[in-house]
């Protein structure tokens, strides 16, 4: 079974304006929609679209939390969220106008007893399970939360995927995660460099691998993706043709496609191809990738 963890999920309220956002004035929308957000939730949604059974874990609160949970279940996503006693699941406002503006909510506070419930859920994982940890840690939790999770899972045969930035990512490498997925800019930030060539990206990926990561998947937006696998082999994939409509969730979709592909065939070339198709399908859509869009793009790679 695949499990994802989203510590601070959100309902994204997306509004479209006919022109630029006008300050100190009434702005009227031309289109609006809501999406159930959070990096782990995005991974779960795309895994579900690909027919991969998975469970979304994390924390929800209040009426907005119930709305998010019910909405995901209506989409066929299996959830096992922990319900917090106080606060509400956040609503983020995404304004798409002449420019894009985001207003992200704070989210509810997660206490020690709440984390103990999540720990109890993770304690049930074992050989054959996979766990995706994606995104930042809320300010109410310790900065070493990911490390504590990996320590607890160490030696239990769980394939852990970590999609995070800077110290949050670097500090878990010693626990040999199955996969890490920085983008090329995040990878460069770790080493204080701007990476412009495949050779530079591969060299930095190899340094993270030397610190413990088994597989390093680097997303590069319109330039495709590069994978340095655990056998030291570099795999490279371009992107299919299409118009970019959305950048939100594309990296999460790539993680979902890669993990689904690897679990299907145990083949890194296939995993990278499916991951690229899934990431591109989201980038070329207004929402997250559908199975139909993924299959359409997969046929072109």
User: Taking the domains of the chain in order of start, what are their residue ranges?
Assistant: 2-9+38-88+107-298
In this predicted structure, what is the pLDDT of residue 286? 81
In this predicted structure, what is the pLDDT of residue 243? 87
pLDDT above 90 for 205: yes
pLDDT above 90 for 42: yes
Q: What is the mean pLDDT of residues 234-252?
A: 88
In this predicted structure, what is the pLDDT of residue 188? 92
Active site residue 198: no
In this predicted structure, what is the pLDDT of residue 70? 95
Q: 159-204: per-residue pLDDT in tens?
A: 999 998 888 899 999 999 999 999 999 999 999 989 989 999 999 9
CA-CA-CA-CA torsion sign (241, 247, 249, 251) = positive
pLDDT above 90 for 55: yes
Burial (Cβ within 10 Å: 0-12, 13-18, ≥19) of residue 127:
exposed
Confirm if 240 and 204 have CB atoms less than 8 A apart: no
The pLDDT mean for the chain works out to 93
**How many CA atoms does the CB half-sphere of 299 hold within 13 Å?**
5
Query: Assign residue 221 a region: left if phi > 0, alpha if psi is -120 to 50, beta otherwise?
Result: left
> What share of the chain has pLDDT > 70, as a percent?
100
Q: Which CATH architecture has domain 2-9+38-88+107-298?
A: 3-Layer(aba) Sandwich (3.40)
In this predicted structure, what is the pLDDT of residue 114? 95
Among 40-54, 133-147, 236-250, the range scoring the smallest mean pLDDT is 236-250
Q: Catalytic pick from 252, 267, 269, 295?
A: 252
**Model-level pTM greater than 0.85?**
yes
CA-CA-CA-CA torsion sign (298, 39, 152, 148) = positive
pLDDT band at 244; cut points 50, 70, 90: confident
Q: What is the mean pLDDT of residues 246-259?
A: 91
């Amino acid at each position: 079974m695949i499990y994802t963890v989203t510590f601070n999920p959100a309902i994204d309220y997306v509004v479209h304006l006919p022109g630029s956002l006008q300050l100190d004035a009434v702005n009227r929308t031309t289109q609006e929609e809501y999406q159930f957000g959070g990096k782990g939730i995005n991974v779960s949604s795309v895994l579900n679209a690909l027919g991969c059974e998975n469970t979304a874990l994390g924390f929800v609160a209040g009426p907005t939390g119930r709305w998010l949970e019910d909405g995901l279940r209506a989409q066929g996503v299996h959830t096992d969220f922990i319900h917090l006693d106080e606060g509400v699941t956040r609503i983020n406002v995404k304004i798409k106008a002449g420019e894009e503006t985001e207003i992200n909510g704070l989210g509810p506070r997660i206490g020690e007893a709440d984390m103990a419930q999540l720990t109890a859920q993770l304690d049930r994982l074992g050989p054959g399970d996979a766990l995706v940890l994606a995104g930042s840690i809320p300010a109410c939790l310790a900065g070493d939360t990911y490390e504590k999770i990996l320590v607890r899972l160490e030696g239990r045969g769980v394939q852990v995927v970590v999609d995070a930035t800077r110290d949050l990512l670097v500090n878990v490498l010693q626990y040999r995660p199955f996969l890490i997925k920085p983008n090329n800019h995040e990878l460069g930030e770790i080493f204080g460099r701007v990476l412009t060539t495949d050779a530079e990206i591969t060299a930095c990926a190899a340094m993270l691998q030397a610190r413990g990561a088994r597989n390093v998947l680097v997303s590069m937006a319109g330039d495709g993706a590069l994978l340095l696998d655990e056998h030291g082999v570099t795999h490279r994939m371009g992107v299919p043709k299409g118009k970019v409509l959305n950048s939100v969730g594309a990296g999460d979709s790539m993680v979902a496609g890669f993990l689904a592909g690897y679990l299907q065939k145990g083949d890194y070339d296939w995993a990278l191809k499916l991951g690229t198709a899934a990431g591109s399908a989201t980038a070329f859509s207004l929402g997250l990738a559908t199975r139909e869009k993924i299959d359409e793009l997969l046929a072109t790679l």
